[in-house]
Amino acid sequence: MQTTLLFADAMLGGLARWLRLLDIDTALAAPTLSDRELVRLANAQSRVVLTRDRHLIRFLRPDRGLLVAAQRTDAQLREVVDAIQLPRPEALFLRCLVCNGRLEAASAEQILERVPASARAFDQPIRHCPDCDRVYWFGSHTRRMTEHLQEVLPQWFA
């Protein structure tokens, strides 16, 4: 199966986080990155540009681009999943929601120093982002995010 690589413009930061939750490699353009540079980087990395900017798609013509019509993040996520025909991921929460890095198992030291005792009691993996040093664990926030995802993409959880 071919991996889909995405590059969201700065307006779509919320969408990028949800795509990362789905283990979709999604770069996010810094607000200072010009549209031309975004298209150049996306083309060089064989990424699909996600944008709400008609001008970017029409005049800069990325090799692969999707004009996202929806305004709300939920609808944007459904739109991208449908348009690109993204497959249901095998697992959720495998990428850093902030920097897009691949998460790894956290060391005992990272867990003891940075994870609340209540989270350590769960029989779920605790992960660490080697790129930005964030630590992730399963708790009520991940449960709520998963439940929300089930509402947004019910076909994946039927």
Using alpha carbons, select from 36, 29, 67, 71 the residue that is nearest to residue 51.
67
pLDDT tens string 59-80 = 999 999 999 999 999 999 999 9
Is pLDDT at 146 greater than 50 in this prediction?
yes
Using alpha carbons, select from 28, 24, 27 the residue that is nearest to residue 1.
24
| pLDDT above 90 coverage of the chain, percent | 78
| pLDDT of amino acid 1 | 42
Residue 95 phi, psi dihedral angles, 5° rounding: -120, 150
Is pLDDT at 16 greater than 50 in this prediction?
yes
**Which bin fits 23, alpha (ψ -120 to 50), beta or left (φ > 0)?**
left
Rg (CA), the chain: 17
| pLDDT of amino acid 47 | 98
Name which residue leads in pLDDT, 139 or 134: 134
Q: Global pTM?
A: 0.92
DSSP conformation letters of 113-156: HHS-HHHHTSSS--EE-TTT--EE--SHHHHHHHHHHHHH-GGG
Count of C-beta atoms within a 10 Å radius of residue 28: 22
Cα 51 from chain centre = 15
Q: Would you call 69 exposed, middle or buried from its count of C-beta atoms within 10 A (0-12, 13-18, 19+)?
A: exposed
Report the mean per-residue pLDDT for the chain.
92
